[in-house]
Structure 1
């Protein structure tokens, strides 16, 4: 008993320290503003000191020197490029276009009904696995995963005579811990690939990273994370929670809530939306599977470098938008074309903070590249890693752990990657790895500690749901419950990455390379 108290106390002290450190950091938008100012000052200091490194690029000669942003040339660049840096930032347009389609599917109720149908219709023996699986695939529309699936999972577990917090934990682990995995390409894929591409251009200005860059690996990861989440819930978390005592609920009314099954109209809507999605998928396959497919690369006849891959965001928009509209018309949630416009407008209005974040993140990335600080840090970092012999699997294990630790303080995937990609992507490219593989490793580290940081934006919502079922639930209680998921996820997912990349040598996505430059 004393040992358990000491362990809980240690966990609470650790989480309290994380929360304290995280609270010292400003809002990500303010953080990027401050980083831009710091970058300007540092560039002036290092430029006056004549800091430079030999140019490591093939067929290049000379050195790379720091350029001064406070010089006449630097000030002119900042003033003239501010708008171009923003509008030309790769993740901006791609994410907004994808969100238009997702917004229609979300507003019509298609995604919510699909998640409910998947979880409620699962056999009892597969409920836990299905809850985690549904959580993973819900990251296409992340808010619905948190707002709909997590409370629903707690309710379903209670209805089955199981501990509701076990259901909450399983759903939370899938939604947040498996954030990057998915069967389909979602909004997170173009978001991260755009940032990676901008960072890769510090080494290779012509390098392209598409939204599909990690799809193969993330597709398989969906099943791995679902199985690991099932294992942790069934073997560790639920046994530790013990039998649920209804008297511990802070809100007795919540125990009376019943799980709402899909109505006949909702089922009809899902059927017609599914038929629509199938027809679209068949048409898409007809355009890329045959050797003379119109969406294949017109020069090589291959899928690599094809209009299909370059326009994958458009197909994400259509894949969610049209079935979402069909579902809305069948169920009556969308009565006319104006409802479609409202749905798309609503999805864009919810992106306001993201757009502001992108504006300052784009300036930081562009300034970092123009000053040559990114290239210099990458060269020196790559040289250090080579001297230490960290150029193989151990390098990526360390990288994943670093990303996981940073995520405890900066839980936003886009904010963290926009801040760190200009350093890590060029550095690891110079060591010999392709940006697609680097991005895959980042996504593992970024996802696995989402569930154990109080800095996660939906943490308060999860706490509120937990307290309704168990009134003495605290931050330490919730985090202690989620730590096993985080540990098992990071170990299991890293092992999959090692086997995938270094044992079998498989590409992480269509046309993705493992090494840079490509063999």
Structure 2
């Protein structure tokens, strides 16, 4: 096993204050849970048993969606569906394989890792990391990682499959705790999911759902994809600052110095902090040329009116095959620059070298694939039984019954969205169920759909990083165990919990000040108030 690189600065174990002891308690309790694979298997079984009980009890809630909408029952109710009867057992047996193979993150990760494996095996990633971190101020590296994580959301899942493991590699190269680097990247990618300088793929999706909900009150109301752009643009810098401060002053000191003996030997690189050779510099230069070529090719498919990857019907660039299939660009990108670097440096000479690199990359994902099998069953069973939708509607009804009408209602709204997100991880799925409740309700007490949507996005983003229901949580856990073999779910949740607490608090206050104290619009042409 290689030795840990000499730290460029020292992070000593922080003092055991009340907050640190609280995080220790969360970690201890969380680590009492079984192995994540076993946990998801037990949860899947538990959902089956609970569905049987709730189905027998006839648990149901009123569906907030209008009659005649897709998947709305004739009687307008969402009922708990039992999997403990003949139909349920047959559905489990016939759907088990499809649940696994159709689990969205699985294909994305496998395809992306084919390309990343080539870049890693060629030596490109090691050289690129060393060129970035040698001599860089440690605290500035943290800021850059969090900021890059937020910006990566423009390109859909690229942050999850590339930036988070890269954050661990960068910190390890600096002699810092690699889990702290992964935490900083995870916080930016997932905790700051809705913030961005640009309009991302999620914006038109949420705007469409919000518009449909708003038209329950006002049939002519329209919501644009840019509805939250101003607020999310500025939020990018807020989340970058908060995420960096939490990383530097809470998460990293709590983790303390890194013990390399806990890592998988395969992830430790003897040459991670060695100066670049002339050959490596030449390889990076030619990789840069290849990068420009890929970017030019990408632009040709999207920018011109005749771009082949624009929406064939509307010509739109955002709602287009370009972004829907962005994982293919990740594959092309890393294979191109990785192979170019390998050819120049001599680390890759034939197609056999590329194939071997891809094979090694996928072989490292064995634990993740096993975990995904059971996680996919749990997520599918949860959806089949309607328990997620029932939870969402019940939480929303609680807000209605509380009777709050002033701006303070948004604090409760954000908190409820954050809680619902713990069990219904998809942003679009959650909003599709809750928007028909919250949007008309808050419109009727005088608030515009655009402002409501902006508040929802705060609650939805901030708890992504502490819920195993988030699609990529298992992947992050699998990568983290490469640096700490005995890592448990509790350790990962405790490591990310400070981000959630600080994000939801500061972001909610910032939203209140932005919209109500200063009266600023959340986006171009987006009002804060609505007159029924």
For Structure 1 versus Structure 2, the TM-score category normalised by the shorter chain is 0.5 to 0.7
Following the alignment from structure 1 to structure 2, what is the Cα–Cα distance between the partners of residues 217 and 334? 46
SS of the residue aligned with 2:287?
helix
- Please tell me whether residue 34 in structure 1 is matched to residue 42 in structure 2: yes
Q: Match for 2:139 among 105, 108, 128?
A: 128
Following the alignment from structure 1 to structure 2, what is the Cα–Cα distance between the partners of residues 382 and 249? 44
User: How many pairs are equivalent?
Assistant: 427
| Cα distance, 1:344 vs structure 2 | 1.0
1:383-432: CA deviations, max 9, x gaps? 2233336896424642687599x7xxxxxxxxx876x9899556544444
- Please tell me whether residue 145 in structure 1 is matched to residue 167 in structure 2: yes
SS of the residue aligned with 2:16?
helix
CA contact (8 A) 1:132 1:170 kept: no
2:80 aligned partner: 66
- Please tell me whether residue 505 in structure 1 is matched to residue 522 in structure 2: yes
Bigger mean CA deviation after superposition, 28-37 or 51-60: 51-60
CA contact (8 A) 1:173 1:229 kept: no
CA contact (8 A) 1:178 1:447 kept: no
2:415 aligned partner: 398
Following the alignment from structure 2 to structure 1, what is the Cα–Cα distance between the partners of residues 41 and 94? 18
Following the alignment from structure 2 to structure 1, what is the Cα–Cα distance between the partners of residues 380 and 373? 11
- Please tell me whether residue 275 in structure 1 is matched to residue 289 in structure 2: yes
- Please tell me whether residue 46 in structure 1 is matched to residue 54 in structure 2: yes
Q: Superposition RMSD on alpha carbons, in Å? A: 5.1
Following the alignment from structure 1 to structure 2, what is the Cα–Cα distance between the partners of residues 287 and 501? 39
| Cα distance, 1:263 vs structure 2 | 1.3
1:331-382: CA deviations, max 9, x gaps? 1222221111111111111222222222222222222222222332222222
Alignment of 1:172-251 (within 5 A): 174-175=184-185, 177-180=187-190, 227=241
CA contact (8 A) 1:105 1:111 kept: yes
- Please tell me whether residue 107 in structure 1 is matched to residue 121 in structure 2: yes
Structure with the higher helix share, 1 or 2: 1
1:446 to 1:356, Cα distance in 2 relative to 1, 3 A: same
| Cα distance, 1:492 vs structure 2 | 5.5
Structure 2: tracts of 5 or more residues without a match: 1-12, 69-73, 150-158, 194-199, 214-227, 261-270, 440-451, 469-475, 486-490, 528-532
Following the alignment from structure 1 to structure 2, what is the Cα–Cα distance between the partners of residues 486 and 226? 13
1:417-468: CA deviations, max 9, x gaps? 76x9899556544444799986775444445999xxxx9778899899xxxx
Q: Match for 1:92 among 106, 111, 124?
A: 106
Following the alignment from structure 1 to structure 2, what is the Cα–Cα distance between the partners of residues 360 and 145? 27
1:495 to 1:274, Cα distance in 2 relative to 1, 3 A: farther
| Cα distance, 1:288 vs structure 2 | 0.9
- Please tell me whether residue 312 in structure 1 is matched to residue 326 in structure 2: yes
| Cα distance, 1:315 vs structure 2 | 0.8
| Cα distance, 1:270 vs structure 2 | 1.1
| Cα distance, 1:215 vs structure 2 | 12
SS of the residue aligned with 1:8?
coil
Q: TM-score, normalised by structure 1?
A: 0.65
CA contact (8 A) 2:173 2:272 kept: no
Following the alignment from structure 2 to structure 1, what is the Cα–Cα distance between the partners of residues 428 and 33? 20
1:348 aligned partner: 362
Following the alignment from structure 1 to structure 2, what is the Cα–Cα distance between the partners of residues 112 and 258? 6
1:181 to 1:48, Cα distance in 2 relative to 1, 3 A: closer
SS of the residue aligned with 1:260?
coil
SS of the residue aligned with 1:335?
coil
Q: TM-score, normalised by structure 2?
A: 0.64
CA contact (8 A) 1:288 1:294 kept: yes
Structure 1: tracts of 5 or more residues without a match: 155-164, 184-189, 205-213, 242-247, 252-256, 407-415, 465-475, 508-512, 515-519
1:496 to 1:274, Cα distance in 2 relative to 1, 3 A: farther
1:128 to 1:47, Cα distance in 2 relative to 1, 3 A: closer
1:22 aligned partner: 30
Following the alignment from structure 1 to structure 2, what is the Cα–Cα distance between the partners of residues 6 and 78? 48
1:386 aligned partner: 400
Following the alignment from structure 1 to structure 2, what is the Cα–Cα distance between the partners of residues 495 and 326? 48
Bigger mean CA deviation after superposition, 54-63 or 102-111: 54-63
| Cα distance, 1:178 vs structure 2 | 3.6
CA contact (8 A) 1:47 1:66 kept: yes
SS of the residue aligned with 1:377?
helix
| Cα distance, 1:222 vs structure 2 | 7.2
1:56-107: CA deviations, max 9, x gaps? 2222441232222121111111111111121122222122111211121122
SS of the residue aligned with 2:61?
strand
Following the alignment from structure 1 to structure 2, what is the Cα–Cα distance between the partners of residues 403 and 153? 38
Following the alignment from structure 2 to structure 1, what is the Cα–Cα distance between the partners of residues 14 and 275? 44
1:215 to 1:36, Cα distance in 2 relative to 1, 3 A: farther
CA contact (8 A) 1:288 1:308 kept: yes
Following the alignment from structure 2 to structure 1, what is the Cα–Cα distance between the partners of residues 146 and 293? 26
Following the alignment from structure 1 to structure 2, what is the Cα–Cα distance between the partners of residues 351 and 110? 20
SS of the residue aligned with 1:29?
helix
